[in-house]
């Protein structure tokens, strides 16, 4: 015999359930290697992973019969997406080396693939981090945010603002370069509309993310992932680069729609040039 939730709510002095509240999937780690976390999530939602021993010699699955109680109860799919020992380009885009988003979607039922996907906790911190200098972290922030959006991640929670992969110096009360890049990411992306799905695409190591800004201007994020931490070409430490706000030396021909100016990671605007130098830290090309 079961007892209605309203009975407990009445006993506690509440009158009704908030029908606008959403239930978030308990935090699942991104599939860093193997399928351990995917197996746990699959059993949590559907109890249909075979074998069910997803936790060593035991199982997290305590019910069966195809009832999908937990999948039916969850409104939001929630994962922790720390990108610490490789580039975000290796984890987030479809077809990437680690292919996190597609591997997550592969275990979900069709109805659950349509639910919002959240990055409930993430940054460039974590085990074995390679993002150890300020300007590399700044480049990471811009690339990470653009690629999360491009992968249809609808919410992202950064952990944490003043340690591990810091945005802010709590002692000097000043923004770190990564914090300036966070502000630029907000200014560039919030209210903008990507004309393409996915938002970002690549030609080799050069990534472009075209958008229409909130003010109606055409714009494009562009960077070259061969530089910086996890890249194959020096500088691998952006703070040692001759121009750390770019961190690279690739000559990029500016497409015709973006003939107004270009903006670097800390928000400084530069005059239009038919070619620009790009690297591990994205810049924004703007049109009129």
Contact 78, 28 (CB under 8 A): yes
CA dist 105 and 253 (Å) reads: 36
Q: Which two tokens stand for residue 24?
A: 């978030």
CA dist 241 and 228 (Å) reads: 9
The two beta strands, 153-158 and 117-122, are parallel
The pLDDT, as a whole number, for residue 205 is: 98
The pLDDT, as a whole number, for residue 265 is: 97
Q: Which two tokens stand for residue 224?
A: 């070259």
Query: SS3 sequence, the chain?
Result: CCCCHHHHHHHCCCCCCCCCCCCECCCEECCCCCCHHHHHHHHHHHCCCCCCCCECCECCCCCCCCCCHHHHHCCEEEEECCCCCCCHHHCCCCCCCCCHHHHHHHCCCHHHHCCCEEEEEECCCCCCCCCCCHHHHHHHHHHHHHHHHHCCEEEEEECCCCCCCCCEECCCCEECHHHHHHHHHHHHHCCCECCCCCCCEEECCEEEEEEECCCCCEEEEEEECCCCCCCCCCCCCHHHCCCCCCCCCEEEECCCCCCCEEECCCCCEEECCCEEEECCCCEEEECC
CA dist 244 and 179 (Å) reads: 15
CA dist 90 and 75 (Å) reads: 28
Q: Single out the residue of 72, 81, 9 nearest to residue 44, CA to CA.
A: 72
The pLDDT, as a whole number, for residue 203 is: 98
Mind listing the pLDDT tens digit of every residue in the chain (288 residues)?
456 667 777 788 877 677 788 999 988 889 887 667 888 888 888 888 776 665 667 766 666 666 787 888 899 999 999 999 999 999 999 999 999 999 999 999 999 999 999 999 999 987 678 999 999 999 999 999 999 999 999 999 999 888 888 999 989 999 999 999 999 999 999 999 999 999 999 999 999 999 999 999 999 999 999 999 999 999 999 999 999 999 999 999 999 999 999 999 999 999 999 999 999 999 999 999
Contact 117, 101 (CB under 8 A): yes
Q: pTM of the predicted model, to two decimals?
A: 0.90
């Amino acid at each position: 015999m079961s007892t209605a939730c309203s009975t407990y709510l009445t006993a506690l002095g509440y009158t009704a359930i908030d029908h606008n509240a959403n239930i978030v999937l308990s935090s699942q780690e991104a599939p860093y290697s193997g399928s351990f976390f995917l197996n746990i999530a699959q059993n949590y939602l559907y109890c249909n992973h075979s074998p069910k021993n997803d936790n060593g010699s035991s199982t997290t699955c305590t019910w069966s019969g195809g009832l999908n109680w937990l999948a039916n109860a969850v409104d939001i799919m929630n994962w922790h997406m720390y990108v610490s020992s490789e580039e975000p380009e290796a984890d987030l885009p479809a077809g990437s080396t680690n292919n996190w988003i597609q591997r997550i979607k592969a275990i979900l039922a069709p109805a659950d693939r349509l639910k919002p996907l959240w990055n409930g906790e993430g940054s460039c911190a974590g085990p074995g981090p390679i993002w150890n200098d300020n300007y590399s972290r700044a480049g990471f922030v811009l690339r990470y945010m653009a690629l999360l959006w491009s992968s249809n991640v609808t919410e992202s929670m950064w952990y944490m603002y003043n340690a591990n992969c810091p945005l802010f110096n709590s002692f000097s009360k000043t923004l770190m370069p990564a914090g300036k890049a966070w502000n630029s990411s907000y200014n560039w992306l919030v209210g903008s509309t990507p004309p393409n799905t996915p938002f970002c695409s690549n030609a080799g190591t050069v990534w472009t993310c075209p958008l229409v800004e909130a003010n109606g201007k055409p714009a494009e994020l562009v960077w070259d992932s061969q530089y910086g931490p996890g890249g194959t070409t020096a500088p691998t430490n952006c703070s040692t680069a001759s121009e750390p706000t770019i961190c690279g030396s690739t000559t990029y021909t500016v497409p015709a729609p973006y003939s107004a100016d270009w903006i670097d990671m800390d928000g400084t605007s530069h005059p239009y040039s038919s070619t620009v130098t790009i690297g591990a830290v994205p810049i924004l090309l703007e049109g009129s």
